[in-house]
Structure 1
């Protein structure tokens, strides 16, 4: 069976309340042309997306992802997605996934320039092998994001809380981290507050409490971070949100980057300075994140 699949999704209005949306999904040949040259997702990165982890055909955190897709669409003034249609699209794509770990990507674009409707599709493919990095962790550098902590509230048009297709800055940050001899990066505001990684949320442990930056700071509210918090709370551990400084990061008892596909990876160094890690807890988090939920 081919390892990669794609479904084009014919968007329907939120008032469409049918039970079965399978007729709105068209399987596509992933080797054949599928998008118009006027497509704004490729011309301008004008659209939103989600990446969903799939374990042996089971898609995790589906509701959190489709809700965040709708939130991103709202921030970008895109037509509201029909959530039940997108839930069924995830299920249809996940059913095509290879065994083991895979990833379903959902894309909602503004469509063809001056066109009548958005363009939408889902893909499914094997996930990269992250076993080594989950075990060994990552070295990170802190990178200036170029704005202060209040920029998201003052300038909502920056779309700081939306998961958009405009990922050029995120990819440039990862390349810069590697140029500096690190594996990943954490963005820091001009006034010294930590935000998130280019493709992951940040969680710190301070004593017996786990904290993550406030999502009101113009960062994505991570779906995996929410799952991790539910897991920690079920064990009686304290979790919370805080305005965290770069100093808080380097003084943490442990820290992780968490995301839907790579899952939980420990931060082992910050700007060249070693940071303590907790291999047993990291292994426990990943065992949980690899379970159906």
Structure 2
């Protein structure tokens, strides 16, 4: 049965050194109206978010998600989030999660237009079933993202590399992938280099080395990708961040899309060309990703 839990957060001053922030959380009915019509998250997508996988009530990779939330806030000139406060909010939301897989979302908005403070809230809900894509994989198409690899450095105001609420382009890319008969997409720079998927990171295998696109092309640094790399390194594999030409995609020995809720989904085809699938390694990676991790 689907369920939801939500709470609003009264943002704390980053220098507040208290031990408990319980009095800054307000539990709300997630089915009831909660945002002002002047809220900039809905008017302009002016805010940031994180999605945290929860396994049997345990939030996964909390520290990495909070660090990325703070990084996105800096890129967007948002007030610095008080990470201890957010961590306690995550624990409060996770305590409401039942057995199985859930997802917690953290949202920090610039707030009401001309208002005095940002708006912050946390939600928790059952996660959509992803076991099928983990086992059977996904077909992907490549889509031009419309900018060259050097654009993020030349135009930081584009906020490439921040996890913002402005996800309309990402959702449009998924719809285009479906129109082309695929399950997902991989963005490619206009000068022919591999970037990321709309809602996931990409990992390629070449022999005993695993590579992911270097985060210098406006790529969101994936928390799950970082965790998978740590796991692979512990197994004795080499890992690397590289600038990957589009032509290298279909020559990989295997490939995966990885994210906090989907975990590791093997790629079975790219632009119609079949790709080998390592079912045993995929199962091993997902067993690791389903284990408790902080």
**TM score, norm. by length of structure 1:** 0.99
Could you say which residue in structure 2 is the equivalent of 1:59?
A: 59
Work out the CA distance in 1 between the residues paired with 2:158 and 2:243.
Answer: 20
Contact 1:143 1:187 in 2 (8 A): yes
Could you tell me which residue of structure 2 aligns to residue 227 of structure 1?
Answer: 227
Deviations 1:64-88 (A, max 9, x none): 0000000001000000000110111
| Secondary structure of the structure 2 residue equivalent to 1:284 | helix
Q: How many angstroms apart in 1 are the aligned matches of 2:170 and 2:98?
A: 28
1:228 and 1:25 mapped to 2: Cα distance?
Answer: 33
After TM superposition, the structure 1 stretch with the greater mean CA deviation from structure 2, 1-10 or 64-73, is 1-10
The aligned counterpart of 1:74 is: 74
1:2 deviates by: 7.6
| 2:50 counterpart residue number | 50
Quote the residue 1:201 is aligned against. Answer: 201
Match of 1:237 in 2: 237
Q: Do 1:56 and 1:97's aligned partners in 2 also have CA atoms closer than 8 Å?
A: yes
Instruction: Give the aligned partner of residue 271 of structure 1.
Output: 271
- Post-superposition offset of 1:216: 1.6
CA distance in 1 between counterparts of 2:2 and 2:256 reads 34
For 1:1-293, list aligned pairs within 5 A: 3-293=3-293
Partner of 1:216, secondary structure, is coil
**Aligned Cα RMSD in Å?**
0.9
C-alpha deviation, 1:237, in angstroms: 0.5
**Cα contact 1:57–1:95 (8 A) shared by 2:** yes
Q: Distance in 2 between matches of 1:215 and 1:33?
A: 38
Runs of at least 5 residues in structure 1 that lack an aligned partner in the other structure:
none
Confirm or deny: 8 A CA contact 1:7 1:26 kept in the other structure.
yes
Structure 1 Cα separation of the partners of residues 276 and 262 of structure 2: 20
2-side partners of 1:22 and 1:2: how far apart? Answer: 26
Deviations 1:27-53 (A, max 9, x none): 001121100000000000000000000
Contact in 1 for aligned 2:256/2:266 (Cα 8 Å):
yes
Number of residue pairs the alignment of both structures matches: 293
Deviation at 1:170, TM superposition (A): 0.1
- Asked if structure 1 preserves the Cα contact closer than 8 Å seen for 2:2 and 2:125, the reply is no
Partners in 2 of 1:208 and 1:233 — Cα distance? 10
Off by >3 Å, runs of 4+ in structure 1: none
Conserved 8 A contact 2:149-2:217: yes
SS state at 2:192 partner: coil
SS at match of 1:171: helix
Measure, in 2, the Cα distance between the counterparts of 1:63 and 1:217: 24
Q: 1:2 to 1:201 in 2, by over 3 A?
A: closer
Q: 1:277: how far off?
A: 1.1
SS of the aligned residue for 2:48 comes to strand
User: Quick check: 1:53–1:261 contact (8 Å CA) kept in 2?
Assistant: yes
Work out whether residues 11 and 119 of structure 1, in 8 Å CA contact, stay in contact via their aligned partners in 2. Answer: yes
Contact 2:2–2:126 (CA under 8 A) maintained in structure 1: no
Structure 2: gaps (5+ residues): none
Asked if structure 2 preserves the Cα contact closer than 8 Å seen for 1:98 and 1:125, the reply is no
SS at match of 2:283: helix
